[in-house]
Structure 1
């Protein structure tokens, strides 16, 4: 392959490891709680039931775990609704139940799960051995407070909007559907504003307007148009028709990972055809067969969450919810993932949770108050960190991960600069947020992977959460990289100490060896000039175009 890009073909050598402890189950009179999951805003269809209409509830358990399951539905009188096995995904069985239409203004449900002689329950408060007393998963058809946060188009037309704004007293949604006027006020329900707009449809632009003074982009917008004042777009979460429904993540001991920057992947020195600059999700999809031919079975994307401008490595996000618009639409990204899956290639996303961009930061001073940041803000070298002590801010991050895993069918994450996730004064909150990510993946996505860019190495990052660790499957092994580079340069003088290479391959004790480390030689920091790193071939051969055969040979060795 001949292609010049700043991440032109970086193969990570993954140590053998088993991420998120994928678990098999059997019908053995024991419901496996660790595999039971129902997240209401993701697992209802439609996501926001209205007018008492019938809707579907989905939940998952480990394959072969349950013998029967049913829902207790209470709309003033309690009834039981049988659930049935409707599909599989990875190690999970997917169950579904149809909640019938009701004339009641409110409704709640909980889930009964049975494995032979063992019966347990799932409700809004979690798993219990006895019937729950927490009221269940509640729906209010009058207030629509059960709507997901963000913009949710309805199957019969219209859209429900919900936005977090704990201290403001008035809010409107203004957009193309109402001539950008103030004809659609939202109703305050707890810390949120909620409203249903009959004429709002997928593809239309909108913004929120607080206190008749403050315009704001939807914090959870699934699509943005930075060229039009960061207006949000309504997105239909079910608008894309997936083709590769039977994809399984490759065995983890067989992973060959290709780090890929969408914007520079295609077009330059490209035998597969021209592409615009920056290149797009569609250009990656068009070259999926080439990646498969290389032997790649995992693509790790540099961040594709929206960033300022059109050209960036991606580490200056303005949101965690919307994909970069210059690369294409949300459906274009889904089509790229779908195509890679069809070629046997998993997709991991690099996520940046430790800071937001200094520029175009539309969460700053949101709704005219500082609800997303501390005052003064917690600083990092790259931008201010969000207020991780607030429940709603932590939800913003954790829910975005579920969005990428579920709606975009991604296969895991690489978290950027985890050492900056637990910095003063919110060390505990940042650490618990990483634990939450990994606990939710353990529960819902045990077949998927979570990697940490932890520099310097720290065994606590890969310790299980029940031991106080952050719970990542593996972390970048900085010691391996440093030692290997050192011996490559020492070899130039004819004196490499190979026992040091052997020692670093063996590892550095519990949770910094074997399955808990990612051994690599070069990544984007070595390829991107402004990061301060440098590729080894350039270090050895300092004269452009840095293509000396001896230098390349040292790197290959």
Structure 2
């Protein structure tokens, strides 16, 4: 089977062997196609001006073919890569390369994806997941992920970014896998190998901004941006203006391209709260509809959002599978560490209640004022939504990497409390997500890194340290200066996972604990999830005790009793069913006496009567 997504822009190999090049450049008068010949010379071809700012040319097989390097010259002065480049091996300022997408022969024609209720997600950064940091190197750990109990891999963004290393959120060529990771065919091989093992593969995509280096759109298509709306990265992408149909098409085709040409099983849309669009439907809704009507009509395709605004309405339309639930992370992190700086301050009043509400109703903030946001109301009611719509996690690239030194939770929390917390994450009905290496308590940090040059590099380094200048721990200028430089190669290198540590008993013990919990999820929880509806009941006991009761999709009742504090909790404890997880062997005796000892959890399930 061969797969290729047809787009109205970029370089497209036609059945006759010719190549059609198409660029939207409404702010220039003339565009030339520059082809790199085998003899090192350039072949300069004027492109035809079409209506509405489009330029196009169709070359013969002798002029361009798969592998040909090319770029566009604007008004005889500025050379730019193709914004829809399928490959840019010489980085973002270099020429683009013609790719024959249909040349890759897929062997996964029978793969239809997996139902969402089976999702156990493993987020990873390709550059630091292995020592080599490539698509090909990641292949060697796929069997390991299956044995762990993972059902879905979520790749941090791979779109071409400046330099040799980056988190991926500074991409500027959104259709080109970054060459530091490998070729387009090597990414396809990774996806195909994952499918062969029953693993879904999701891709993180960024539709709220372009990176700060290599974005040439301002020079020839400033209509991509709306200067009236600002974002943390500058002018907002214009999804609602006069030329927005072309802008919207660019991003919708990008989504369809990854899902069709690379056979990804879903996308995670980064920070949709930073997208400004008052259109109806807005770009998120329109994109989701296009996915559902396209690849989602023939196989299981899942869309995931990151949305700090907690907009529940996106999740009730039936086209978005789920959202990352930062509320869950923040409340649990505060309970585990006691940290209450920054956004954690919103959860400091009643962290156990916030966490219990996440477990039972999805969001902790469902329209309440956020003190961290100066009293702004945050969120929408979510209790009516199925809990499958909320992805819970104790770690993610953001929550580790946005710390000054990138420490993981295993270095910040004590072992027993963390074990109890993980039972909540991995056994609750909501789909859990792990961040690479957490399953063996990786000691390697995950710090913010990039590979900018010159003045931009200096600004990024200074800005990174300025972010933490208001924290008490960095009041001393020497402490502030100790924050790792994002552009230093050593910062990137220290983030690479140390797989050899699995030879040590401590790390192996953590891995076995995760495997045990995920095996319990697979046997005790997942079979009951299809048909799961919204809302559950929860009770609080003292400041740290909680009881949550869920009615699962087939009518079974799941009950959690937990104490997330250092002091015992006493009171009437009602629970039914058979226990399938106890954080300590003597826990039944305590529960029978109406007492929960410090940091404990007990899970019970009561099957439906047949």
- Give me the TM-score of the superposition, normalised by structure 2: 0.58
Q: CA separation in 1, counterparts of 2:237 and 2:202?
A: 24
Aligned residue number for residue 99 of structure 1: none
Structure-2 change in CA distance of 1:500 and 1:320 (3 Å): closer
Match of 1:448 among 301, 314, 320: 301
Question: Higher relative contact order at CA 8 Å, sep ≥6: structure 1 or structure 2?
Answer: 1
Q: Which residue of 2 aligns with 1:516?
A: 389
**Structure-1 residue corresponding to 2:401:** 528
Aligned equivalent of 1:481, options 305, 308, 329: 329
Q: 1:160 to 1:531 in 2, by over 3 A?
A: farther
Matched, 1:433 2:283: yes
2-side partners of 1:325 and 1:42: how far apart?
20
The 5 A counterparts of 1:219-230 are 219-227=83-91, 229-230=93-94
1:421–1:431 CA contact under 8 A, matched in 2: no
Shift in alpha-carbon separation, 1:227–1:518, aligned structure 2, 3 A: closer
Residue 511 of structure 1: how far off its partner (Å): 5.5
User: Counterparts of 2:184 and 2:177 in 1: how far apart (Å)?
Assistant: 6
Residue 52 of structure 1: aligned partner? none
Counterpart contact for 1:357–1:384, Cα < 8 Å: no
* Secondary structure of residue in 2 paired with 1:462: helix
Shift of 1:339: 0.8
Looking at structure 2, the residues matched to 42 and 252 of structure 1 have their Cα atoms a distance apart, in angstroms, of 26
- What runs of 5+ residues in structure 2 fail to find an aligned partner? 340-349, 363-381, 416-441, 445-503, 514-563, 565-598, 602-610
SS of residue paired to 2:268: strand
Deviation at 1:380, TM superposition (A): 2.3
Q: Hey, what does 2:236 align to over in structure 1?
A: 385
- TM-superposed deviation, 1:532: 8.2
Find 2:30's aligned residue among 145, 151, 170: 170
Conserved? CA contact 1:188–1:194, under 8 Å: yes
Cα distance in 1 between the residues matched to 2:83 and 2:600: 45
Question: 1:490-505 maps to which residues of 2 (within 5 A)?
Answer: 501-505=355-359
The residue that corresponds to 1:373 in the other structure is 225
Q: Distance in 1 between matches of 2:136 and 2:505?
A: 34
In the alignment, is the contact (CA less than 8 A) between 1:526 and 1:534 conserved in 2?
Answer: no
* 1:190 correspondence with 2:51: yes
- Cα 1:240–1:499 shift into 2, 3 Å: same
- The 2-side partners of 1:342 and 1:548 are apart by 31
- 2:153 maps to 1:299: yes
SS in 2 for 1:480: helix
Q: Are 1:364 and 2:224 matched, yes or no? A: no
Per the alignment, residue 170 of structure 2 pairs with: 316
Instruction: Say whether the 8 Å CA contact 2:200–2:265 is kept in structure 1.
Output: yes
Post-superposition offset of 1:431: 6.8
> Matched residue of 2:201: which SS?
strand
Distance of aligned partners of 1:481 and 1:545 in 2 relative to their CA distance in 1, 3 Å threshold: closer
Could you say if the C-alpha distance between residues 220 and 545 of structure 1 is closer, same or farther in structure 2, counting changes exceeding 3 Å? closer
Following superposition, the deviation at residue 180 of structure 1 comes to 5.5
1:209-248 alignment to 2 at 5 Å?
A: 209-227=73-91, 229-248=93-112
Shift of 1:436: 1.1
Distance in 1 between residues matched to 2:79 and 2:600, nearest whole Å: 54
Q: Which of the pair is proportionally richer in helix? A: 2
- Give the distance between the partners of 1:498 and 1:230, measured in 2 at CA: 52
Within-5 A mapping of 1:326-405: 326-366=180-220, 370-374=222-226, 376=227, 378-389=229-240, 390-405=244-259
How far off its partner does 1:383 sit? 4.9
Partner residue, 1:62: none
Deviation at 1:258, TM superposition (A): 0.7
Gaps of 5+ in 1: 1-40, 48-146, 268-275, 466-470
Aligned length: 388
- Contact 1:473–1:516 (CA under 8 A) maintained in structure 2: yes
SS of the residue corresponding to residue 212 of structure 1 reads: coil
Q: In structure 2, what is the Cα distance between the partners aligned to 1:497 and 1:209?
A: 57
Residue by residue over 1:493-531, the C-alpha shift from the partner in whole angstroms, topping out at 9 and shown as x without a partner, is xxx986764443111534555122112221111232557
Cα–Cα, structure 1 residues 315 and 377, in superposed 2: closer, same or farther, change >3 Å?
Answer: farther
Q: Is the 8 A contact 1:525 1:531 kept in 2?
A: no
Partner residue in 2 for 1:114:
none
In structure 2, the partner of 1:460 is 313
- Secondary structure of the corresponding residue to residue 232 of structure 2: coil
Query: Would the aligned equivalents of 1:173 and 1:186 in 2 still touch at CA under 8 Å?
Result: yes
Residues 445-478 of structure 1 show CA distances to partners (whole Å, capped at 9, x for unaligned) of 152111111114221232318xxxxx52211222
Equivalent residue runs for 1:21-60 within 5 Å: none
How many Å apart are 1:150 and its aligned residue?
0.9
* Paired residue secondary structure (1:365): helix
- Is the 8 Å Cα contact of residues 316 and 382 (structure 1) preserved in structure 2? no
- Residue 321 of structure 1 aligns to a residue whose secondary structure is strand
1:349 counterpart SS class = strand
1:87-132 Cα shifts (integer Å, max 9, x gaps): xxxxxxxxxxxxxxxxxxxxxxxxxxxxxxxxxxxxxxxxxxxxxx
Q: 1:377 to 1:209 in 2, by over 3 A?
A: farther
8 A Cα contact 1:460 1:511, kept in partner? no
Cα offset, 1:170, TM superposition:
2.5
- TM-score in terms of structure 1 length: 0.63
